Amino acid sequence: MRALLVLALAALPAIAACQTPEQMAAADDQTCRSYGANPGSDAYMACRLQQQRLRADEDLRFRQGMAALGQQMQAQNQPPRIVNCTSSRMGNYVNTSCY
3-state secondary structure 2-37: HHHHHHHHHHHHHHHCCCCHHHHHHHHHHHHHHCCC
The answer, as to whether pTM is greater than 0.85, is: no
Is 64 within 8 Å of 10 (Cβ atoms)? no
For 21-79, the pLDDT digits (tens) are: 999 999 999 999 999 999 999 999 999 999 999 999 999 999 999 999 988 888 877 77
Q: What local confidence, expressed as pLDDT, does residue 46 receive?
A: 96
Higher pLDDT: 7 or 59? It is: 59
